[in-house]
Amino acid sequence: MIDDDTEIIEEIINGDIDKYEYIIKKYQLRIINLCYKYTKNHSDAEDVAQESFLKAYNSLSKFRFESKFYSWLHRIAINCSLNYINSKEKLREKETISENSGLINNEGEVMDIMARSDQAGTDTPYNSYNLEDMAKTIDFVYNNLPDDLKLVLKLRDIDDMTYDSIALETNLPIGTVRSKLHRARELLSKTIKKDIEDE
Amino acid sequence: MNESKKNIEINSILKAILKREYPSYISKNFSSQIMDKIYKTSFRNNIYSHTLRIASAVTFAVATLFLMESFFVDKVKYSKTTINHEIIAPTKNVTNQVDDCDKVNDNIKSSDKLECK
């Protein structure tokens, strides 16, 4: 199976640890978002995503290149999220048992856990990127793109089509498809760059 | 930040937003936190493997020395460094003894002749 990440993964396995940061940066948002679906909490989602990336790194030598790297990472993230849910459920069960049997002499401890959990839900804006705001700006720029650029961008980045398929779909040569995609991405990237620098 | 890393980050943000697969917030140092943990682990593993290598080399050297010593060094302790005595080859003195006739006669067959006193 052809995967964009094959080369970079091989380099990491051969000892170029720094390259793993490319992988993290490439998939961090999608993995955090996946974990968020399970954890329903931003801070916990980041923790679980972090654990998933670390687990993937430690098991990288076991990756057989039979599937796409992202599919493998996706599976690891789901497993980590499920483990997180199980551990949280166990904690909740313990709390319920303690409350029901009247054995709460460490009530303060339970309150601490709850407070930490609540606190975890609120992010500190100064060390985080606000993606909701970024998305609003991106949507605005995307909607105002010329139709031909918007179409190519949609087919490639949203529908994950190959360059060949896009060329067939749009009746354009592959070179033109590439250049249109490059222009579209550049216009949107400028917006993101500006947002990142402002934050 | 390295330019290509920044570009990858921007492209990933762009793709995630277009696909509507993004969380509301993300820590600015999310990737560097993971990389720090990876570096720490690999540093610890390196120290461990180096120590293990040195320890195994030392063990091997000691074992080899011990073996060499037991093979090549003579364990017999001599009282003197030189031996002055002449080595005399052991000999056996044999005399040509002839038995008395009355002792021999009992065992003589008629055909045999035996010299005796």
Does residue A1 sit within a domain?
Answer: no
Categorize the per-residue pLDDT at B113 as very low, low, confident or very high, splitting at 50, 70 and 90.
low
CB contact under 8 A, B26 and A32: yes
CATH of the domain at A74: 1.10.1740.10
Buried b (16+ CB within 10 A) or exposed e, B43-82: eeeeeeeeeeeeeeeeeeeeeeeeeeeeeeeeeeeeeeee
The answer on A82 and A159 residing in a single domain is: no
For residues A14-31, give the mean pLDDT.
91
The answer on A160 and A87 residing in a single domain is: no
Q: pLDDT, tens digit, for every residue of A50-99?
A: 999 999 999 998 888 888 899 999 999 999 999 999 988 878 777 777 66
A20 touches chain B (CB under 8 A): yes
The answer on A142 and A114 residing in a single domain is: no
CB contact under 8 A, A128 and B28: yes
CATH of the domain at A141: 1.10.10.10
The answer on A193 and A96 residing in a single domain is: no
pLDDT of residue B24: 87
Domain boundary among A99, A124, A149: A124
Does residue A184 sit within a domain?
Answer: yes
The answer on A11 and A81 residing in a single domain is: yes
Q: Which of A29, A123, A196 has the CB atom closest to B12's CB atom?
A: A29
Q: Which of B5, B19, B27 has the CB atom closest to A25's CB atom?
A: B5
pLDDT of residue B75: 64
The answer on A135 and A38 residing in a single domain is: no
B residues 18-77 closer than 8 Å to A (CB): 18-19, 21-35, 37-39, 42
DSSP helix, strand, coil percent of chain A (3-state; round to 5):
80, 0, 20
A188 touches chain B (CB under 8 A): yes
Categorize the per-residue pLDDT at A100 as very low, low, confident or very high, splitting at 50, 70 and 90.
low
Chain B nearest CA to A147, separation (Å): 16
Mean of the per-residue pLDDT values for chain B?
77
The answer on A88 and A54 residing in a single domain is: yes
Q: Which of B26, B28, B39 has the CB atom closest to A29's CB atom?
A: B26
Q: What is the ipTM of this complex?
A: 0.74
The answer on A116 and A34 residing in a single domain is: yes
Chain A neighbors of B37, CB-CB under 8 A:
50, 54
More confident residue, B113 or B68: B68
Q: What domain count does chain A have?
A: 2
Chain B nearest CA to A175, separation (Å): 20
* CB-based contacts of A118-123 (< 8 A; 24+ apart in sequence): A120/A41, A120/A42, A120/A43, A120/A44, A121/A41, A121/A42, A121/A43, A123/A42, A123/A43, A123/B24, A123/B25
Domain boundary among A124, A139, A166: A124
Domain boundary among A70, A97, A124: A124
The answer on A187 and A109 residing in a single domain is: no
Q: pLDDT, tens digit, for every residue of A121-179?
A: 454 456 788 888 888 989 998 999 999 999 999 999 889 899 999 999 999 999 999 99
pLDDT of residue B12: 87
Please name the residue of chain A whose CA is at the shortest distance from the CA of residue B6.
A25
Tell how far CA A114 is from the center of its chain: 26
Residue A183 has pLDDT above 50, yes or no: yes
Q: Which of A24, A153, A192 has the CB atom closest to B10's CB atom?
A: A192
CB pairs under 8 A between A and B: 125
Does residue A155 sit within a domain?
Answer: yes
Residue B67 has pLDDT above 70, yes or no: yes
CA dist A74 and A91 (Å) reads 26
The answer on A170 and A92 residing in a single domain is: no
Chain B nearest CA to A135, separation (Å): 6
A46 touches chain B (CB under 8 A): yes
Does residue A67 sit within a domain?
Answer: yes
Structural domain boundaries enclosing A32: 6-124
The answer on A156 and A77 residing in a single domain is: no
pLDDT of residue A121: 46
Does residue A143 sit within a domain?
Answer: yes
CB contact under 8 A, A46 and B30: yes
For residues B97-102, give the mean pLDDT.
63
The answer on A69 and A109 residing in a single domain is: yes
